[in-house]
């Protein structure tokens, strides 16, 4: 088996390879003078089972993933792991005339034996891949991390109904209380969160979402919790997109800490999803 990390998931690929007790395969990624991307996999992969790991937060990341797949055309099998799949939030037509971006992107992956995503925004997107696709769940890793923090009467809160099930499952696994806010999106980076009576005075609260993009959802939620005299307020997510000034917005809202996984490699990505990916790879070997 060859573990090949793309530029956006180098550290994660190394961690998965370490879990599998193999060395990661080296690739070269550079750009031509006109800025087009260039990829060369530095080891022979003919007849090998290859695992390509590349998050697709940017258009360039997606193009690199297509190049990685193409470079592995002579492999025995190609498994693509997309820890964070960009464009997945436009998973349906919200307004007439729109593209279903998640479908458009999924359809570009050809010549692949299987795709694994991680906490993809909506599971039905998996049906748009031409090959078998499976979504892995990193939320138990975050749950364990939260448990180890030894917080004061912690309460887990979902900032909107879209992640309610994931957060309720985490809470029940930890034997913690859980609540959910009602969110209305006003624009790409602004939301309104409805005030709600909760038993939070002096308690530590963890807001948990699938991703933090502009930070608007979390910043508004944190403000409400702090106005209502919560103790320390933490935010946690699977995918730390942290676009634009999200980190500053969150700090300004009074958040104590930002906890995230390495599906996107940021300074906040302290919880590695490598064990989840490796566990699935080990099942294939049996
Ligand atoms: C939305 O459905 C997602 O679960 C997140 O709540 C959202 O993507 C967060 O975006 P932002 O950080 O820009 O508010």
Domain of residue 34, CATH code: 3.40.50.2020
Average pLDDT over residues 99-104: 98
Residue 94 and residue 11 share a domain: yes
Residue 84 lies in a domain: yes
Least confident of 52-56, 68-72, 84-88, 150-154: 150-154
On whether 90 is known to bind a ligand per the annotation, the reply is yes
State whether the beta carbon of 91 lies less than 6 angstroms from ligand 1. no
3-state secondary structure of 144: helix
Annotated active-site residue in 107, 165, 183, 256: 183
**CA distance linking residue 94 with residue 100, whole number of Å:** 9
Residue 6 and residue 132 share a domain: yes
Residue 267 lies in a domain: no
Q: Report pLDDT digits (tens) over 106-144.
A: 999 999 999 999 999 999 999 999 999 999 999 999 999
**CA distance linking residue 116 with residue 39, whole number of Å:** 22
Distance 213 CA to ligand 1 centre (A): 6
**Confidence band of 210 (pLDDT split at 50, 70, 90):** very high
Q: What is the pTM of this model?
A: 0.96
pLDDT for residue 50: 98
Residue 127 and residue 75 share a domain: yes
Residue 112 and residue 207 share a domain: no
pLDDT of residue 62 exceeding 80: yes
State whether the beta carbon of 212 lies less than 6 angstroms from ligand 1. yes
Residue 154 and residue 101 share a domain: no
Residue 227 lies in a domain: yes
Q: How many domains does the chain have?
A: 2
Structure-token match 């007439």, residue found: 96
**Confidence band of 285 (pLDDT split at 50, 70, 90):** confident
Residue 122 and residue 41 share a domain: yes
Q: Report pLDDT digits (tens) over 167-186.
A: 999 999 989 999 999 999 99
Range of the domain at 190: 139-262
Residue 104 lies in a domain: yes
Residue 13 and residue 113 share a domain: yes
Distance 121 CA to ligand 1 centre (A): 10
Residue 234 and residue 131 share a domain: no
2 is catalytic: no
Average pLDDT over residues 55-75: 98
**CA distance linking residue 222 with residue 217, whole number of Å:** 9
- Residue 214 alpha carbon, nearest atom of ligand 1: 13
Average pLDDT over residues 149-163: 94
Residue 144 and residue 127 share a domain: no
State whether the beta carbon of 213 lies less than 6 angstroms from ligand 1. yes
Distance 130 CA to ligand 1 centre (A): 27
Residue 132 and residue 183 share a domain: no
On whether 49 is known to bind a ligand per the annotation, the reply is no
Residue 126 and residue 149 share a domain: no
Residue 49 lies in a domain: yes
State whether the beta carbon of 179 lies less than 6 angstroms from ligand 1. no
Residue 230 lies in a domain: yes
pLDDT for residue 189: 86
Distance 211 CA to ligand 1 centre (A): 6
Residue 82 lies in a domain: yes
Q: Percent of the chain beyond pLDDT 70?
A: 100
On whether 244 is known to bind a ligand per the annotation, the reply is no
Residue 254 lies in a domain: yes
**Confidence band of 248 (pLDDT split at 50, 70, 90):** very high
Q: Report pLDDT digits (tens) over 8-36.
A: 999 999 999 999 999 999 999 999 999 99
| Alpha carbon distances (Å) from 110 to 2, 45, 141, 204, 237 | 19, 18, 31, 47, 30
Show Cβ contacts of residue 151 under 8 Å, excluding neighbours closer than 6 positions.
204, 206, 232, 234
State whether the beta carbon of 220 lies less than 6 angstroms from ligand 1. no
On whether 54 is known to bind a ligand per the annotation, the reply is no
Residue 156 and residue 91 share a domain: no
């Amino acid at each position: 088996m060859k573990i090949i990390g793309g530029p956006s998931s180098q550290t994660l690929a190394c961690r998965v390879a370490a879990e599998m007790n193999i060395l990661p395969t080296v690739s070269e990624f550079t750009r031509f003078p006109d800025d087009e991307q260039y990829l060369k996999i530095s080891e022979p992969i003919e007849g090998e089972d290859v695992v390509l790991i590349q998050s697709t937060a940017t258009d360039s990341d997606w193009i690199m993933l297509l190049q990685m797949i193409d470079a592995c055309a002579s492999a025995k099998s190609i498994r693509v792991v997309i820890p964070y799949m960009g464009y997945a939030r436009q998973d349906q037509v919200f307004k007439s005339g729109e593209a279903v971006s998640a479908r458009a992107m999924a359809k570009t992956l050809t010549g692949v034996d299987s795709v694994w995503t991680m906490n993809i925004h909506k599971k039905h997107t998996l049906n748009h891949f031409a090959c078998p696709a499976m979504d892995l769940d990193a939320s138990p890793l975050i749950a364990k991390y939260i448990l180890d923090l030894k917080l004061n009467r912690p309460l887990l809160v979902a900032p909107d109904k879209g992640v309610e099930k994931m957060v309720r499952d985490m809470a029940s696994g930890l034997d913690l209380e859980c609540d959910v806010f009602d969110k209305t999106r006003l624009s790409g980076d602004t939301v309104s969160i409805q005030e709600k009576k909760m038993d939070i005075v002096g308690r530590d609260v963890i807001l948990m979402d699938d991703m933090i993009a502009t930070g608007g959802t979390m910043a508004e939620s944190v403000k409400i919790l702090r106005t209502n005299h919560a103790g320390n307020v933490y935010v946690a997510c699977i995918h730390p997109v942290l676009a634009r000034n999200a980190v500053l917005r969150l700090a300004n809202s009074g958040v104590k800490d930002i906890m995230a996984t390495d599906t996107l490699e940021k300074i906040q990505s302290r919880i590695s999803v490598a064990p989840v990916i490796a566990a699935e790879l080990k099942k294939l070997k049996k």
